Amino acid sequence: MRTHLVYAHPHHGSLNASLRDEAVQTLEGLGHTVTVSDLYAMKWKAVADFDDYGPTEADSFINASAQAWDEGTLSADILAEQEKLLAADNLILQFPLWWFSMPAIMKGWMDRVFTNGFGYGTSRDWKRYGEGRLEGKRAMIVVTTGAADTHLSARGINGAIDDLLFPIQHGILFYTGMEVLPPLALTGAGWNPDYEGMTKRLRERLETLAETAPIAYRHQSTDYDEDKLLLPGLEPEGTTGFALHTA
């Protein structure tokens, strides 16, 4: 098994850094080949711009992205990440929840690595949401939060963590074809965190990576009509919100 860990935290001595080391050690102990993209340590370029694509006369950013993929002129740092991803069986994203999403440097990994033609396509029949280039891989988010558990529950003031992560889990990971495992949310990381409990949960999730049931997001090819609307009658009556898109 090969597992690629994309990691973002600015502090070398942080709780997140310890958890990352614990994850790598656990995975290697399980016999995985582990690659790590430590985005801060790599000084990963966060901002997608025309420099990513080489010479182009394209009239739009999205077309320049497609052209660079077709012609092999993507910048070397993007190509290296695409190769690590293609080589991996599992992708783990580890980050602290900043403003209810990823730190900008990791958003920049998404913006830059998942280029037009590699991560997404604009044609109607582009394989996405359950199928596509990264099909067969498994992805999991490991996220630390300053907020307590209750604050991130359905009635919690921040909104439910599963819904807050939907744009990433469904909109990026599942979009590109990966199976998405339930996230590991390590809450209350700011004050007196239960480090031992956290590492125990982390190890358990890594040991069960291959058999944990993925989130049952619905598939574009079977569950939506030509206008990409959910077919009628698939959901329990009264379902609203993102829950519509989970079987």
Nearer to its own copies, 98 or 195 (CB): 98
Name which of 205, 190, 152 is nearest 15 in CA terms.
190
- Quickly count: other Cβ atoms within 10 Å of residue 128's Cβ: 19
Contacting residue, 35, 38, 79, 242, with its own copies by CB under 8 A? 242
Query: Judged by CB under 8 A, does residue 42 bind its own copies?
Result: no
From CA 220, how far away is CA 106, in angstroms rounded? 26
Point out which residues pair with 95 in neighbouring strands.
143
Residues 133-172 that bind its own copies (CB under 8 A): 146, 148, 150-151, 153-160, 163-164, 166-168, 170-172
Least spacing, CB of residue 194 vs its own copies, in Å: 17
Query: Which range binds its own copies by CB under 8 A, 30-38, 180-188, 201-209, 237-245?
Result: 237-245
**Considering only 19-27, 78-86, 179-187, 220-228, which stretch makes contact with its own copies by CB under 8 A?**
220-228
Site for its own copies (CB under 8 A): which residue of 5, 6, 7, 9? 9
Q: What character string, x for contact with its own copies (CB under 8 A) and - otherwise, covers 80-119?
A: ------------------xxxxxxxx-xx-xx--x-----
Helical spans, DSSP H, in 56-102: 61-71, 76-87
Would you say how long the chain is, in residues?
247
Q: For residues 120, 126, 128 and 134, what is the CA-based torsion angle, rounded to 10 degrees?
A: -70
Residue 202 Cβ vs its own copies, minimum distance, rounded to whole Å = 20
The pair of structure tokens assigned to 172 is: 């990026």
Q: Out of 22, 42, 61, 89, point to the residue binding its own copies (CB under 8 A).
A: 61
Binding range to its own copies, per CB under 8 A, among 67-75, 196-204, 206-214, 232-240: 232-240
The sign one gets for the Cα dihedral 10, 106, 92, 215 is positive
- Please state, in angstroms and rounded to a whole number, the distance separating the CA atoms of residues 148 and 146: 7
By the rule CB under 8 A, 241 interacts with its own copies: yes
| Contact call for residue 208 and its own copies (CB under 8 A) | no
Task: Please state, in angstroms and rounded to a whole number, the distance separating the CA atoms of residues 188 and 3.
Answer: 27
Identify the DSSP state of 193: -
- In angstroms, the CA 33 to CA 13 distance is 25
Alpha-carbon distance of 98 to 15, in angstroms, equals: 15
- Least distance (Å) from its own copies to the CB of residue 5? 19
Q: Which residues lie near its own copies (CB under 8 A)?
A: 9-11, 13-14, 40, 46-50, 59-62, 98-105, 107-108, 110-111, 114, 122, 129, 146, 148, 150-151, 153-160, 163-164, 166-168, 170-172, 190-191, 220, 224, 227-230, 238-245
